[in-house]
Structure 1
Amino acid sequence: MNTVRLPSGEQVAALGQGTWYMGEDRAARKAEVAALQAGLDLGLTLIDTAEMYAEGGAEEVVGEALAGRRAQAFLVSKVYPHNASRAGVIAACERSLQRLRTDCIDLYLLHWRGEHPLAETVAGFEALRAAGKIRHWGVSNLDFADMKALWRVQGGTGCAANQLLYNLGRRGIEWDLQPWLREHGVPVMAYSPIEQARLPRHAGLRAFAQKHGCTPAQAALAWLLGQDGVIAIPKSANATHLRENAAARELRFTPAQRAELDALFPPPRRAMPLEML
């Protein structure tokens, strides 16, 4: 199974499950819980959520899905920037733990950089880690300059991941941020890896997939999974799509095939502002 190594040495699943937009409709709750459990059965054991998603609703869905199965999952959640003071991050984490029905989050991320100094956020994260409330901490949506600033903060080099918008159509991080992260041993967690189902409608990607015997979504995921230090977290509440996603782990693109994808989705030729959704 594809895995990615965290700075601590721990190996986590390179293909996980996202939960953005889950928890917004009570009528969909049963299907969402079932999808997350089906994903666990397929080995998609890394589950990503956030207090922002449905204002805690997604965390509640995850908590229900993990009832009796917590040990099988590597659980990721994120704190709002406005809650990311030293005291605020501790209080926010306690609320997330209650919604998730667990006593520890495996990886806790700053959702994006806000008004609170990074030093305060890191201090809060370290306090949570010392108390056993989280095992690792990291960031999300921090650009090249932000990461260099984080590295200057006391304890900032303890960052275990940076969750970023990254897919075939959003390759700006490859210019400077991704090489820096790789040099410092920090994995990229790619959110919206199939661009919220828009990439599979791309005519060129559809033709590529047909030529090489896979689906467009599998091609997009396999392109990410073929890179060192990249975790992909597609969201799906559809059993067929879950199986399709899981099968992408078996694809191995040749250099020639990757060159075909580069022609369809060119890498950046200059530094670009960090993209976010």
Structure 2
Amino acid sequence: MKIYILPVEQHLQPPSQSFVYPNHNIDYGVEQDFLIYLNKNPQLITKDAKAADWHYLPVFWTRWHINHNFAENGDGLDALNPMVENVLIDSEKTFTITQFDGGTLLTATNILEFTAARTTNEGIDIPILCALHKHPLFPIKKKYIGSFNGSVQTHPLRQQLFDFYQHNPEINLGGNLPTRFYKRWIQGKQFNLNIMASHIALCPRGTSANSFRFFEAMQLGVAPCLIGDLDVRPFQKYINWDDYSYYVKDIKELSELVENLNPQEAKKKGKAAKALFYNDLYYQKWCKYVVKELNDHSN
């Protein structure tokens, strides 16, 4: 299989974005990561667009949309759409990588989206990644069944989670990290410790169906539990996620899981999740699954 990298205007690959999240993250994501991966694997690339099995559209969608007011009220889309249209040769054999909530936000296209933040957009789910957390030098004793720290405003499910468990001492709940640096640094460390002190990490969906926290928990060696209406755990054709994580659709299913949780099983999943994260899902590692998906689509 050969991939042709579509030449895009420099405007479509902004060098930075005006806002970076989560709090500890750097200005780098899966959109930049896959382009680097391709350039490191020249055997996958062809300079002949006609001979290529796939055309790759290397737009940095997240940086573009964030720098245009998060595409609120369609900001930036009038400029984006024609620039993309001018680049496309055959949209049906074109794919792209996107991390922005809702994908590319293009008006109409047959482009195959590998999406880290699916909402109503169609596509193939990929991990939503951020900078690594630091591990403490000492082992952390488990004292919670589950923990969650994050905004409750991004989806009703999060408010339901708080309402249901706010008085349960076995579930650790926290709000957003503060803005002052010294407080954020202290509570950021506490974020790591609370996850590691839990048998499972609660990862309710937010604006998108995916969750940074899901993959942060894997990195920290804790079995993540995705909570939401869509099971967007990535690359399910190749990864048996039940060996590494939990998934529930709503708070009712979560309460059943919490009530019947097997700590030894959760520990085993957490250990396996950490290995899977570092071996197969972190930056550069996840890209091979995109190639597998493209091969499957070609056959």
User: TM-score scaled to structure 1, two decimals?
Assistant: 0.31
- Name whichever structure is richer in helix by fraction: 1
> Which of the pair has the greater relative contact order for Cα pairs under 8 Å at 6+ separation?
1
State the structure with more CA Rg.
2
